[in-house]
Every structure is written in structure tokens, then in C-alpha cells.
Amino acid sequence: MKINLIEKNIKKIKSDIEIIIVNSCDNLKDKVILDTLGFEAKDESVILLAESKKIYVGCEDNDYDSVAIAIASALKKFQSTKFKSVKINLENLSLKAIVEGSILGTYKFDKYKSKKEKNKKQELNICVDKITNKIENTLNESIIIAKAVNKTRDMVNTTPEDFYPQIMSNIAKDIAEDSNLQCKIRGEEYLDNNGMHSMLSVGRASRHESKLIHLAYKPKNAKKKVVLVGKGLTYDSGGLSLKPADFMVSMKSDKGGGCTVLGIMSTVEKLKLPIEVHGIVGAVENMIGGDAYKPDDVLTAKNGKTIEVRNTDAEGRLVLADCLCYAQDEIKNIDYLFDFATLTGACVVGVGEYTTAVMGNNTNLKRNIVANALDSGEYATSLPFNRFLRKAIKSDIADICNMANTRYGGAITAGIFLENFIYDEYKQKWAHFDIAGPAYVEKPWGYNPYGATGAGVRMAIEFLKNIEKK
């Protein structure tokens, strides 16, 4: 859908229909008929009055999320009609919420449909009093960010037969070419030669070679250096600790963290961020076979730490362990080191399926991340480490165990496991994002569709945009 900014009084804009966002039904011109139809000024309440050529949509607040949900609901209704154009008065609404809600809320993934809906040539006209540089910049920035989220959704939604480590590498190369990024792709020989046997073991039984992806954006006079690491499990069967059949469905989503990193990296050059950003993804498929790694194996990670395998379905942390070590060995003087992963079902139980859990040692950093997440339109909260849960991942035969000896606090013990692969100089600069809940949800919510949501992209970009203030 084309989005236009128009510097005119809304009454002078020629559009087929108008969207009216309502937070109170009092004093509305069409109040009587709206009351008759049961319309309320609540989220996702929407009524099309074709004769009046108006779409009324409820909005419970004036914050980003409420406005984005409202515009998404209205545009879905608009798309169900044969009207070509729709207009809305910006007034005191957030332009960012209008633009991102429009693009994210009208997303469709129909790659595997035999009969695809034809794309209608429809447009949204946003009426503003005056088009300033700030308004134009907000429009362009919001379009870039929303398209990156939808790109991430496309990757996560793609089936494992069509999306394996080599494909993920090819997409990374395309992003690098499109955005003038440096790109390195490392195969299993590199992993073996560089002591990355934790990651190497996870993909050993797959017919698809594991890949380490490294993208880099290096502008001149960069003010900060940020490294983003993503778990790219293109499919997770659970390995020999095989998942129950029902739990294997939707495991194409286990590449969500890696796809989030690729989505973020697709924006950094377009947004002209004055910081150096590296994106590192461990692209691996966890399968079963005669060469599969096994419970009771002891693996050696890149930093020399040994890991007792108790469960081959706790594989994402094994991939991230080596990727985090690689990042710290290859890139010097890092200011922030973040990892993104659909890591634990325990996180979904703990904070719900819509919220990202942020973990780490630096309380102020975690608060900053959560604040930026909320400003971006994503839900996030922090979870605390503690000395007692550290004991839960001790091993009697190796340095550390990949599964805790308790079922409680599983999201936190996974985060503590990763901390073992963070070097002392980066302990206060590192944060772990568990996006297991919001990355893939099997029902629509707000402006998010069934399936992949692109969780993590907006919150990370918001943090990067504001990094000079930190």
C-alpha cells in the first residue's frame, strides 16, 4: 500500500473514504447509527459506513500501540473494499505509529497459497498541517523499519525445506549487497579449525552444512561499536532428545533470533546510523541420525570451556556459546554485545507469549533496553540473575551443563549458561534477549499476524538510534 503525506486540509483531499480514529463516541456526527451497530471506542472495534464514506475505529489511548492497532484494524477493513484511496487526519496522532501500524498491520504471507490474492493498488493519504524535514524523516525511517520487520517475518515464516543454513547465508549476502555491508560466511571446516565444537556438534547430523554468518557495517568516525548475535536454528527437531510431535510444529520459528539480526542489519546503512554494527548468526539445523551428538557427550566451546550435554534439545545455547566467543575474539573494543534467541519455553511460561525477556548483569542497561523496547511498540521486561540459580547448571564431569538440575527458572538458567561465554571485560556490556514468546504466535494479535512477528527488530533499532544519549 502506498503511503502519501499531503499538506492540505483533510476536507480538500480527494479520497474515496476517510478513517476516523475514535477514543470517545460523544459528539460524533454518526453517533446514532454507530450506537445502533454496537460500535465502541475500544481496540479493534471498527465499523465501515459506506454511505457516509467513513471508517470509524476505536482507540483506547493515544500511545504508539493503541494508534498502531487502530490504523491496522481500519486498513484491514479498507482492504476488504473496492475503494482505491483512504485519508486520515494526523492531528495529534503519532506519525510513526500510523506508518508502522499500516505496514505491519496489512502484512500477508501467502508464499505457499496456490491461489494468491491480487495486490490491490490502494493508497493511504495522511493529511498534515505542514510537511517539515522532521515529518519526512519520520515517514522514511518508519517505512524502513516496518519493511525490515516484514522481511524478518518472511524469513521466519518460510518452511525448513526452503530455508536451511545455506539459504540463510545467501539472504545475508543479498542484504550485504543491498546495504553496502561487509559479509563473511564460514563453513564447518572453519568451525572445526577454530575450536567451535559446541556449535559444530549441534548441526552434525543434518544434511545441511552449518554456517557462521558475519555482517558488518562500518561507517567513518563511528561513535560506538555494537555486536548483535542471533540463534539461527533453521529447524529444531530436538535432536536425539526428540521433541514430541506436537512440539515440532512451528519449529521453523527457531531461527527467529538469527532472522531478527539479519532484519536489523538490513536497516543500519539505510538509517545512516553513526555507529559500527556487526551481525553474527549461527545458522544450524538440529536433526537426528547416526552422526548426531548425544546426551552424555562433553563438548568444548571456542573459549575452551567444556559442556556436559544432558539434553540435545537445549541446543540454541550451544550455538550461541561459540558465536558469542567468536564475536569477542574477532571484534575488539565492543561497546554493547547483544544476543537474540527463541531460547526457552520457560520464558513463555514466565512472561507470556507477547513479551521479550531481557537478561544480563547490568541493571541500568537492562532498564534502558526495556524502555527503548516500550517506546518502539514492543513489550519487554527484565529477569534477574541470582547466585543460587548459578549452581543449577554445574556439572560433575565438565565445566558446565547445558541443562539445569531444576525445572524452575529455566529462562534465567539458560541466560546464566550464556554468561559463561562472556569475557570479563564485556560482562557489563552484554544483554541476552529471549524472544521465544513473541517471535512466533499462532494467532493474530494487535497489528501482528498469525505466525512470525519480527520481534526484536524495532526494539533493537530504537536502542541503536538513541545510543548517543547513553
Q: Tell me, what's the pLDDT at 275?
A: 97
Give the three cell numbers for residue 402: 547445558
Q: Taking residues 315-320, what's their average pLDDT?
A: 98
Q: Tell me, what's the pLDDT at 470?
A: 58
Residue 413, CB-side half-sphere exposure with 13 Å CA sphere: 21
Nearest Cα to Cα of residue 51 among 15, 86, 17 = 17
Q: Which of residues 8 and 25 earns the better pLDDT score?
A: 8
Q: Tell me, what's the pLDDT at 8?
A: 87
Burial 347-366 (b: 16+ CB within 10 A, else e): bbebbebbbbbbbbbeeebb
Strand partners, 56: 20, 47
Give the three cell numbers for residue 329: 575474539
| DSSP codes, 26-64 | TT-TTHHHHHHTT--SSTT-EEEETTTTEEEEE-S-SSH
Q: Taking residues 231-236, what's their average pLDDT?
A: 98
Strand partners, 2: 123
Give the three cell numbers for residue 291: 552422526
Residue type for position 240: L
Element (H, E) at 284: strand 276-286
Nearest Cα to Cα of residue 172 among 163, 184, 164 = 184
Q: Taking residues 235-248, what's their average pLDDT?
A: 97
Residues annotated as catalytic are: 243, 317
Note whether 65 and 71 are within 8 A (CB).
Answer: no
SS3 374: helix
CA pair distance 19, 22, nearest whole angstrom: 10
Q: Tell me, what's the pLDDT at 198?
A: 98
Strands 400-401 and 336-341 come out as unpaired
**Which architecture characterizes domain 2-131 according to CATH?**
3-Layer(aba) Sandwich (3.40)
CA pair distance 251, 327, nearest whole angstrom: 26
CA pair distance 425, 423, nearest whole angstrom: 6
Counting beta carbons within 10 angstroms of the beta carbon of residue 211, is it exposed (0 to 12), middle (13 to 18) or buried (19 or more)?
buried
Q: Tell me, what's the pLDDT at 24?
A: 81
> For all residues of the chain together, what is the average pLDDT?
96
Q: Tell me, what's the pLDDT at 303?
A: 98
**pLDDT at residue 307 tops 80:** yes
CA pair distance 29, 411, nearest whole angstrom: 52
Q: How confident is the model at residue 363 (pLDDT cuts 50, 70, 90)?
A: very high
Q: Look-up: residue for cell 470517545?
A: 24
Q: How confident is the model at residue 1 (pLDDT cuts 50, 70, 90)?
A: confident
Strand partners, 213: 185, 281
**pLDDT at residue 469 tops 80:** no
Counting beta carbons within 10 angstroms of the beta carbon of residue 287, is it exposed (0 to 12), middle (13 to 18) or buried (19 or more)?
buried
Q: How confident is the model at residue 120 (pLDDT cuts 50, 70, 90)?
A: confident
Q: Does domain 149-469 have CATH number 1.10.8.60?
A: no
In order of 169, 182, 262, 264, 403, the CA distances from 174 in angstroms are: 9, 11, 10, 14, 37
What is the residue extent of each domain of the chain?
A: 2-131, 149-469
Q: Tell me, what's the pLDDT at 29?
A: 83
Strands 225-236 and 336-341 come out as parallel
Q: Tell me, what's the pLDDT at 375?
A: 95
Q: Tell me, what's the pLDDT at 118?
A: 81
Note the pLDDT tens digit of each residue in 11-43: 899 999 999 999 887 778 888 899 999 998 899
CA pair distance 126, 5, nearest whole angstrom: 5
Note whether 265 and 335 are within 8 A (CB).
Answer: no
Q: Taking residues 83-111, what's their average pLDDT?
A: 96
Q: How confident is the model at residue 192 (pLDDT cuts 50, 70, 90)?
A: very high
CA pair distance 11, 18, nearest whole angstrom: 10
Note whether 208 and 165 are within 8 A (CB).
Answer: yes
Note the pLDDT tens digit of each residue in 318-338: 999 999 999 999 999 999 999
Q: Which of residues 24 and 50 earns the better pLDDT score?
A: 50
Note the pLDDT tens digit of each residue in 397-443: 999 999 999 999 999 999 999 999 999 999 999 999 999 999 999 99
Residue 269, CB-side half-sphere exposure with 13 Å CA sphere: 18
